[in-house]
Amino acid sequence: MAAERKRLRIGLAAYGTGWDQDAWRLPESNNRGLTDPSVISDLAITAERGKLDYLFAGSSLASEPDVLNRVFRWDSAVFAGHAAARTDHVGFLLTYNSSFEHPFHVARQLATLDRFSEGRTAINVVFGIDRQGGPVENFEGYPLPDQESKYRRAAEFTEALYALLHNSWDNDLLLDNKADGILIRPGSWHPIDYEGEFFRVRGPLNVPPPVQRHIPNVHVGTSPESLEYGAKYAQARFSPYFGLEAGKKHYAEHKARVAAAGGDPDAFLILPGVTFYLGGTVQEARAKYRQILNYQREVELPLVLAQSLGITADRFAADVPLAVALGAEGIDPDRLVALLDNGDVAAEDPTVNGYPTQPSRQRRHSNVDVVRDVLAALGDDEHLTVRDFFAAMQKRQAGQGRYVGDAIGFADWLEEHLEEEVLDGVQLFPPYHRGPADFFVDHVVPELQRRGIFRTEYESTRLEDNLGLS
């Protein structure tokens, strides 16, 4: 009998206008999700129809009214409670910032939601304080950690949180002895008496314990301190997408980091983010992607890149073909990487969920896999312009992967990356609402199921079981 194939874990992101900052301008996009809860909660129903693992609605404490996909961020606990009432199996990943939040308050919300949803919650602990949108300025006078101490605070927050969640009460707490007048079993509750540099928490928690044996912790971040936190306290990682070859190296390195911290590297999940642009054919997908690229208000060719390519600003404005700009050697990914490395073509270093990553040229451009990805997304070398190429490089969102093509091709991409040990699953970011999420569920999921690398039914009502973490 053949060994059972490893299976993908798939999460779906829910943002008011989708993830692409230009795709909201498409005639078919639905942008009411900024203010209408039903648009976003409908995504939970779509995710469950596709047997996806969880829905992620990244919350934020920053105020960014001028950033399209961050104008509004629903409170993730309230959103998840609403959507959980409309679903039965899909999980919900909630974001909390340990630099601003208190573990007792968060434990109350998580345990309550886990009970009401019958075991479908997970937490994404973040600790940024210097984010765009000035979250610190929304908490004037509130005691906050600095850049160095925020990691120690995050560790304490997590330790106190999980002690409250899982050590406060025994599961057989309800005695319900009416004859003797004893409702709660004596000795079934326990103070946690947590005391640290930042938090002092007596406990026990004043809501029943979670349904899950351990509420999953999904980590994000790329600093050494953040990676250390994730290896020690998390069960999954939102990872940047580094390309196929670099991704294999990152995968192995982080699994080794988990093992060194005493965890199980085989159970730990690596989940890079992927924005996907799909169509019935590759040509349809590329046409839609180029349509979205054309909505970019302004694309400036950095002077140093123009000089490297040997063209002037007016030639760039005239949409000179990339093949012409590169001359007789033509469009070669390795040569493009070298040219891009000669100039910083990104206006700022990329981020992952708001966290600074490694420098732009190392992450976004000094990777031949990334350049090949961009060229494959655009296609049609003969008509590809310098503007098209640079616009696509600029659109590369927050260190994420990107796929442009048809359903079979995306299934191929996912299968290859799973088998090559680049990832254990993906966090999907639909570029707009509602078509992309439905297309993935209706066309990609059946193909993954046919190949035996994705479930046909949920294994459990508990998220930890469906993620293979129990």
Average confidence (pLDDT) over 165-182: 95
What string of DSSP letters covers 67-109? Answer: SGGGS----HHHHHHHHHTT-SS-EEEEEEETTT--HHHHHHH
Q: What is the pLDDT of residue 160?
A: 98
Angle between helices 224-233 and 150-167 (to 10 degrees): 10
pLDDT at 415 over 60: yes
pLDDT at 139 over 90: no
Across the strands, what pairs with 122? 93
Q: What pLDDT band is residue 361 in, cutting at 50, 70 and 90?
A: very low
Residues in contact with 88: Cβ distance below 8 Å, sequence separation at least 6, in sequence order: 48, 461
Distance CA 125, CA 294 (A): 36
Please report, for residues 58, 89, 217, 408, the alpha-carbon distance to residue 454 in angstroms, rounded to integers and kept in the order given. 25, 15, 22, 14
Most confident of 186-190, 238-242, 304-308, 335-339: 186-190
Distance CA 22, CA 298 (A): 11
Q: What pLDDT band is residue 67 in, cutting at 50, 70 and 90?
A: low
Q: Three-state DSSP class for 302?
A: coil
- Evaluate the omega torsion of the peptide bond into residue 204 and state whether it is cis, within 30 degrees of 0: yes
Average confidence (pLDDT) over 225-248: 93
Encoded tokens for 206: 């004043």
Average confidence (pLDDT) over 420-429: 97
Average confidence (pLDDT) over 142-149: 85
Contact between 100 and 144 under an 8 Å Cβ cutoff? The reply is yes
Distance CA 158, CA 154 (A): 6
pLDDT at 348 over 60: no
Distance CA 92, CA 114 (A): 10
Q: What is the pLDDT of residue 286?
A: 92
Compute the mean pLDDT over every residue in the chain, rounded to the nearest whole number.
Answer: 84
Give me the phi and psi of 425, to 5 degrees please: 180, -170
Torsion of CA 249, 454, 427, 48, to 10 degrees: -170
Pairing of strands 200-201, 194-195: antiparallel
Q: What is the pLDDT of residue 390?
A: 74
Q: What are the pLDDT digits (tens) for 1-52?
A: 456 789 999 999 988 888 888 899 999 999 888 888 888 889 999 999 999 9
The angle at the Cα of 392, spanning 388 to 393, to the nearest 5 degrees, equals 120
Q: Three-state DSSP class for 272?
A: strand
Distance CA 19, CA 432 (A): 6
The residue ranking higher by pLDDT, 403 or 332, is 403
Across the strands, what pairs with 467? none
Residues in contact with 186: Cβ distance below 8 Å, sequence separation at least 6, in sequence order: none
Q: What are the pLDDT digits (tens) for 252-299?
A: 999 999 999 999 999 999 999 999 999 999 999 999 998 998 887 655
Residues in contact with 245: Cβ distance below 8 Å, sequence separation at least 6, in sequence order: 369
Distance CA 226, CA 308 (A): 36
pLDDT at 342 over 90: no
Contact between 239 and 292 under an 8 Å Cβ cutoff? The reply is no
Residues above pLDDT 90, as percent of the chain: 58
Which of the 8 DSSP states describes residue 444? I
Encoded tokens for 168: 């406060």
Q: What is the pLDDT of residue 346?
A: 36
Q: Which residue has the tokens 């989940």?
A: 271
Give me the phi and psi of 214, to 5 degrees please: -155, 115
Q: What is the pLDDT of residue 303?
A: 56
Contact between 274 and 426 under an 8 Å Cβ cutoff? The reply is yes
Q: What is the pLDDT of residue 177?
A: 95
Average confidence (pLDDT) over 183-193: 95
Q: In angstroms, how far is the first alpha carbon of the chain from the final one?
A: 26
Q: What are the pLDDT digits (tens) for 429-453?
A: 999 998 999 999 999 999 999 999 9
Q: What is the pLDDT of residue 343?
A: 42
Q: What is the 3-state secondary structure (H, E, C) of 39-52?
A: HHHHHHHHHHHCCC
Q: What pLDDT band is residue 107 in, cutting at 50, 70 and 90?
A: very high
Say which amino acid occupies 252: A
Which of the 8 DSSP states describes residue 6? P
Pairing of strands 269-278, 425-429: parallel
Average confidence (pLDDT) over 78-91: 94
Q: What are the pLDDT digits (tens) for 202-222?
A: 999 999 999 999 999 999 988
